[in-house]
Chain A
Amino acid sequence: MPDLATSWDDPSTTDGASRDLVLEALRLASRLVSSGTRVREARCLLLHNDVLTSVASSRETEASERGRYRVSEHANFDRAISTGQVVDDGSTVVVPARGDNGVLGVITIDGEGGLGDAQPATPATIAHIVGLGVSQSRAVNELQLEAERSRRLERLKSEFLNIAAHELRSPLGIIRGYTSMLSEGMLPNPDREVALSRITEKAEEMARLISEMLETARLETLGLELELEPVDLLEVVDNAVHAMRPLMGPRHQFALAAPGDDIAVVADKRRLTTMLTNLIDNAIKYSPAGGEIEIACDHDEREATVLVRDHGIGINAEQAHLLFTRFGRLVTPETSHIRGTGLGLYLARESARLHGGDITVSPTPGGGSTFVVTLPIA
């Protein structure tokens, strides 16, 4: 009996038992052809996007030499796959193998004489075994990946809960502290004013954190519903800048650039404002040494853009893809003391996408980050 190649190079079929099943089918296939005919090789090829790739062979061939074939360029493969029938041209037998979602590959038997007097039902049985083996292997693979994904998500969720709890503790500490000092009656008047406005600010901060968390939970289960209305983008940008001005340190400056005319978009005004305040808040927080925060609006016939650029810490390019994910706050030694749950950016991009736009980020030349919001023009 011909030896089967031991190397197997289909990344979607890693389950050992299923793989053995396919190899056993291939052994059967190599004995299919009647006695007197010399079998040169039996192979198993898997189909992916119109390309058949050989994953196992009865000959000891290097995986790289076993071949890849574009189905449309090989009539026998094409016919076997499109009809689901065994194709036998006298020198090569091509047997399609079916999985749950159609043909997933073929087995081929090369040898003078073709099927000869072999039982016609046998190739179908072999193809069935191959189909079962590959399908099962892929299912096992998918389950393993899914389990890995859900373990990762669980871990991220508990890390996130930890971050969120600490984020809530910080304003709570201020509220409790000032409340206790006020109720003791120990604060003289100007300090009492400060205390009251701090309590208000911190209560708002907590409310914002809580609504971000609720919005995220809602997005996950029900999706967001936008309350769309015609909006002047410049007005929303002005409001966002105005709202964030008190958070700016003395070392920050805003630089605003806008065209002379209005920019009309159809948007959920509240969410658009939140999106922009989140980006500005981020620009402030991630440029602790200060510097200019540029906010520029522009538009053409199709879309409006708002650019928010800082000259701060910037984002590690390798981690940038995590930035807009649900629990993807990037914590590095440089940023671990900076407040925030990371939900703001996630919600901002989800909201931009629901509006038919997007948010992208790129490094600011010389250091820092540049976020660009795009929105379709009304």
Chain B
Amino acid sequence: MEEDVKVLLIEDDVAAAEMYRLRLVADGYSVVIGHDGHEGLRMATDEAPDFIYLDLRLPGLDGFEVLERLRAGTATMHIPVIILTNYGEPELRERGLKLGALEFLVKSDTDPAELSESVERAVSPRALPSI
């Protein structure tokens, strides 16, 4: 399907990262995982992913700090980011969207299948041949 689309998961919960990876790989994406804020930020530059799923509660840098730095970096500023977290508070959602996240998903309310759908929505315009 979309062999060439690479997704970066920035997620410290090993079980959650593994589950999302299984789902995305099954849907044809390649997946890399950053286990904390600093590692995620480094991989966003080094791995040049097409898409990022970002947790909020992370060791080192929290998700908001990561998002701010992603948006400030020339190499990472255009990568679509979706926040995927256990925290659904409206003020956090608002902050995340204001910082430039495409969507704000609460893990326990999100079917892993929706992850691939979101990636597809976000990256497919670029996958289409230009006219």
Residue ranges of A at the interface with B (Cβ–Cβ < 8 Å): 166, 169-170, 172-174, 176-178, 180-181, 184, 186-187, 191, 194-195, 198, 201-202, 288, 336-337
Contact = CB atoms under 8 A, between A and B. Distances in A.
Given A169-B108, A172-B108, A187-B26, A178 B19 contact: yes
A187 B19 CA distance: 11
A337 B59 contact: yes
Nearest to B111: A180
A170 B18 contact: no
Contacts of A174: 15-16, 19
B124 to A, nearest CB: 21
Chain B, interface size: which category? 20 to 34
B48 interface: no
Contact of B86 (A169, A177, A181, A201): A169
Contacts of B20: 177
Given A177-B112, A202-B15, 13 more contacts: A169-B106, A174-B16, A180-B113, A181-B23, A181-B113, A186-B26, A187-B22, A195-B22, A198-B15, A201-B15, A336-B57, A336-B62, A337-B62
A166 B12 contact: no
A170 B112 contact: no
18 contacts: A170-B16, A170-B107, A170-B108, A173-B107, A174-B19, A177-B16, A177-B19, A177-B20, A177-B110, A177-B112, A180-B111, A180-B112, A181-B19, A181-B23, A187-B22, A198-B18, A202-B15, A336-B62
A181 B107 contact: no
A181 B116 CA distance: 13
Contacts of B16: 170, 173-174, 177
A172 B87 CA distance: 13
B58 interface: yes
B22 A170 contact: no
B47 interface: no
A316 B1 CA distance: 52
Contacts of B23: 177, 181, 186
A65 to B, nearest CB: 56
A251 to B, nearest CB: 12
Nearest to A288: B59
A176 B20 CA distance: 12
Contacts of B22: 181, 187, 191, 194-195
Contact of A337 (B18, B26, B58, B106): B58
Nearest to A162: B89
B16 to A, nearest CB: 6
Contacts of A201: 15
A337 B12 contact: yes
B56 to A, nearest CB: 9
A337 B57 contact: yes
B39 interface: no
A177 B111 contact: yes
A184 B107 contact: no
A176 B86 CA distance: 13
Interface in B12-30: 12-13, 15-16, 18-20, 22-23, 26
B86 A173 contact: yes
A202 B112 CA distance: 17
Contacts of A184: 113
Given A177-B112, A180-B112, A198-B19, A170 B26 contact: no
Contacts of B62: 336-337
Nearest to B86: A169
Given A198-B19, A337-B59, A181 B112 contact: yes
B55 to A, nearest CB: 9
A313 to B, nearest CB: 11
Interface string B73-95: 00000000000001100000000
Of all A-B residue pairs in the complex, the 5 with the closest CB atoms, nearest first, are A173-B107, A173-B108, A169-B86, A169-B108, A172-B108
Contacts of A173: 16, 86, 107-108, 110
Contacts of B59: 288, 337
Nearest to A333: B62
Interface string B1-45: 000000000001101101110110010000000000000000000
